[in-house]
């Protein structure tokens, strides 16, 4: 594990923030900086068939070292960080032997990581935490996963006594903007199944995620001098406000958990002549997911009847719940669960309240549950990760490779 921490710190200090408004792949040129570094490193640790394509998708192989006919399995993580918060000039702080008290991230700005608010911190008393300096995100999502996969492969290369089948690994761009699997070559990857290392706390094992869509409501108006506006002005801002008032106020991220779906308005831009609302729709249940989309259509129709053709709605599906593709091959979840148990890790099997490359990949023919990478509070200045959690993730990868081979007679 000696290389795990310096490897992770090297990755997170390389800016790879993705851009949802870019039309290129990768969406930002700077993602190539880490991609090229990873290609060199994979060669150095002894991986074979290392490749990188024109879209910065990296693949590599650890050949089988057993005479058994073992399924080819894969491990996948993404290189980019979220556009929601700055990923530039990341300066990680290392807190050794965490004492369970407040951690001052930035004294000047009075930014404090406190267990009074983030109760999960108390699980890691006595451990080594890597945090931000309060100015950026950390990037453990998902550079922790990248570091864990590389470290696990390096360990297996150096320990040929651990028998395993053919292992494929891949690192992708643009997961944070929903495009991580768009140009993933499943056939080239050639695995029977895979695991994304992109979960949060130790023990997380997920094979179910949200059905997801994004929606944009555009309202056009007519600007008239307010002193003479009666029966003439059409205020797009007012209609936008009415649209939002017709949506269920409690079905939002801040009031939902577990299997509960939601609407999340994340952007409003408006003037009298034109107002735009952007939101996302999430639900684990396919029927409820469809009902949510129909609700927005009904509100749009209601406002058109009231005001005229000033309101338009565009809904675009993003990804589906991977459960239907993983359940028929549920042994791939059971192998990961058994690996954790043998390492003394309590599996936490729960649905992802979000998305994952594994969802798209599962529907592309590569069943792909998600495993913890160890971080917390992603996409913001309070992000942190315990070093011990990363070490456990490395061990889980190694154990999955070992178990997959040992179960074949």
Residues forming the active site:
80, 175
The rounded distance, in Å, linking the Cα atoms of 406 and 409 is 7
Q: What is the DSSP string of 328-387?
A: GGTHHHHHHHHHHHHTT---EE--BSS--HHHHHHHTT----EEE---BSTTSTT-EEEH
Residue pair 329/184 in contact by the 8 Å Cβ criterion: no
Please, are residues 375 and 368 in contact by the beta-carbon 8 Å criterion? Answer: no
Residue 223, Ramachandran bin (φ over 0: left; ψ between -120 and 50: alpha; else beta) = beta
Asked if 140 and 16 touch (Cβ cutoff 8 Å), the reply is no
Q: What is the rounded CA–CA span in Å between residue 390 and residue 400? A: 15
Contacts of residue 207, defined as CB under 8 A and 6 or more positions apart, other chains included, come to 322, 323, 326, 327, 330, 333, 349, 369, 370
How far is it, in rounded angstroms, from Cα 233 to Cα 346? 62
């Amino acid at each position: 594990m000696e290389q795990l921490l310096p490897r992770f710190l090297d990755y997170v200090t390389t800016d790879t923030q993705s851009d949802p408004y870019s039309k290129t792949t990768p969406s930002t040129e700077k993602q190539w900086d880490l991609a090229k570094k990873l290609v060199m490193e994979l060669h150095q640790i002894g991986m074979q068939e290392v490749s990188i394509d024109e879209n910065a998708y990296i693949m590599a192989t650890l050949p089988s070292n057993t005479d058994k006919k073992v399924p080819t399995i894969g491990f996948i993580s993404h290189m980019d960080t979220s556009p929601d918060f700055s990923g530039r000039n990341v300066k990680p702080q290392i807190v050794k032997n965490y004492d369970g008290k407040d951690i001052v991230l930035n004294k000047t700005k009075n930014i404090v990581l406190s267990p009074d608010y983030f109760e999960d911190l108390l699980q890691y008393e006595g451990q080594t935490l890597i945090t931000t300096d309060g100015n950026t995100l950390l990037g453990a999502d998902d550079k922790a996963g990248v570091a864990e996969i590389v470290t696990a492969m390096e360990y297996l290369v150096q320990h040929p006594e651990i028998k395993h089948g053919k292992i494929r690994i891949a690192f992708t761009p643009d997961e944070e903007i929903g495009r991580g699997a768009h140009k993933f070559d499943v056939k080239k990857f050639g695995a029977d199944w895979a695991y994304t290392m992109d979960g949060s706390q130790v023990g997380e094992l997920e094979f179910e995620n949200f059905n997801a869509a994004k929606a944009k409501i555009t309202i056009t108006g007519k600007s008239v001098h307010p002193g003479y506006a009666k029966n003439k002005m059409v205020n797009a801002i007012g209609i936008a406000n009415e649209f939002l008032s017709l949506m269920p106020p409690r079905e939002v991220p801040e009031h939902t958990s577990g299997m509960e779906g939601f609407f999340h308005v994340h952007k409003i831009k408006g003037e009298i002549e034109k107002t735009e609302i952007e939101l996302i729709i999430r639900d684990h249940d396919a029927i409820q997911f469809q009902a949510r989309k129909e609700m927005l259509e009904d509100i749009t129709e209601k406002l058109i009847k009231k005001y005229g053709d000033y309101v338009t709605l565009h809904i675009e599906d993003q990804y589906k719940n991977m459960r239907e593709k993983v359940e028929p091959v549920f042994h791939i979840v059971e192998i990961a669960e058994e690996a954790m148990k043998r390492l003394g890790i309590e599996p936490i099997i729960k649905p992802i309240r979000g998305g994952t490359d594994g969802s798209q990949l599962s529907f592309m023919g590569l069943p792909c549950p998600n495993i913890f990478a160890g971080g917390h509070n992603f996409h913001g200045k309070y992000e942190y990760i315990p070093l011990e959690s990363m070490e456990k993730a490395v061990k889980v990868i190694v154990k999955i490779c070992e178990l997959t081979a040992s179960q074949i007679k």
